[in-house]
Amino acid sequence: MTQAPDLAPPPTLEVRGGRKNFGAVHALRGVDLVARAGEVTALVGDNGAGKSTMIKCVAGIYAFDAGEVLFEGEQTHISAPADANALGIEVVYQDLALCDNLDIVHNMFLGRELKNGFRLDESAMETRAAEVLASLSVRTVRSIRQHVASLSGGQRQTVAIARAVLWNSKLVILDEPTAALGVAQTEQVLQLVRRLADAGLAVVLVSHNMNDVFEVADSINVLYLGQTAAQVRTKDTSRMEVIELITSGSAGMPPGTVAPRMSPDAPDRAATPVISDASTTTNGSTSA
């Protein structure tokens, strides 16, 4: 081992033992996530596994009922979207929430418009929007004054992602960004996702698509029935193993992994598998 774990920066985001109930529904029963700067962390799991709920807890739409959230190594409480935004967390939701009747520039600055006195500073917004799109090597958009209604699905996704990176974000979470896209557009969006990470952001990618996950993710976090089954390095795993984790919550774990005790009706969170790779550890302690 040449790596000095003590010198490694803390993850941008770490969730330990996160829980969330909706009345009698235990949506999250112990979730752990590590998202590092410069990496794409995929969040996968079957329908109803808890992916969207987890993201909404990180984004401040819900608050975790129990568990810890660390941002850049500091313990933090996120209980409103403003808390998440202040930390530099941006979420691109699947429905995108773009305004069709506005152009790209206005969509990127929606709700956070730049002003010059009482008037909108159109030229500053246009310059900044163009800079961000250029920095992301976005070349498929003809004019940034084009109405969003006239854009393709992939271009809309691009605008939503560019909007997320405009605000000094440190962590960008993308919920199924390629779900509605064709092959070529999917490729463009995946390249953009990769560039976000290469630019130093931590990226969390929610996806059902194993091709997407294995193409861009550095690390894969699997949720199973509201619990984290494992977080594994992409290079150390296989599609077969990830699919097994998604469908049964366990798999022939890589060496150094502690197998979880997973029972759908177990009231308490089992120890999450701990991956030996120092750059992707999940916390194995059981929270109350």
R_g (Cα) of the chain, nearest Å: 19
**By C-beta, is 94 or 281 nearer to ligand ATP?**
94
**By C-beta, is 46 or 72 nearer to ligand ATP?**
46
Give the interface segment with ligand ATP, choosing from 2-10, 22-30, 146-154, 252-260 (CB under 6 A).
Answer: 22-30
> Among residues 41, 53, 227, 228, which is the contact residue for ligand ATP, using CB under 6 A?
53
CB of 170 to ligand ATP, least distance (A): 23
- Residue in the block written with tokens 């190594």: 73
The reply to whether 48 sits near ligand ATP by the rule CB under 6 A is: yes
The reply to whether 247 sits near ligand ATP by the rule CB under 6 A is: no
- The pair of structure tokens assigned to 174 is 């993308």
Report the partner that residue 18 touches, choosing among Mg ion, ligand ATP, none (CB closer than 5 to 8 A by kind).
Answer: none
The reply to whether 50 sits near ligand ATP by the rule CB under 6 A is: yes
- Residue in the block written with tokens 């929606």: 110
Considering CB under 6 A, how many residues would be counted as binding ligand ATP? 11
- Please provide residue 41's backbone torsions phi and psi, each rounded to the nearest 5 degrees: -110, 115
Report the partner that residue 48 touches, choosing among ligand ATP, Mg ion, none (CB closer than 5 to 8 A by kind).
Answer: ligand ATP
- Residue in the block written with tokens 């509605």: 180
**By C-beta, is 26 or 51 nearer to Mg ion?**
51
Exposure b/e, 98-128, CB count within 10 A at least 16 = b: beeeebbbbbbbeeeeeeeeeeeeeeebbeb
CB of 28 to Mg ion, least distance (A): 12
CB of 206 to Mg ion, least distance (A): 7
Interface positions with ligand ATP (CB under 6 A): 22, 25, 27, 45, 47-53
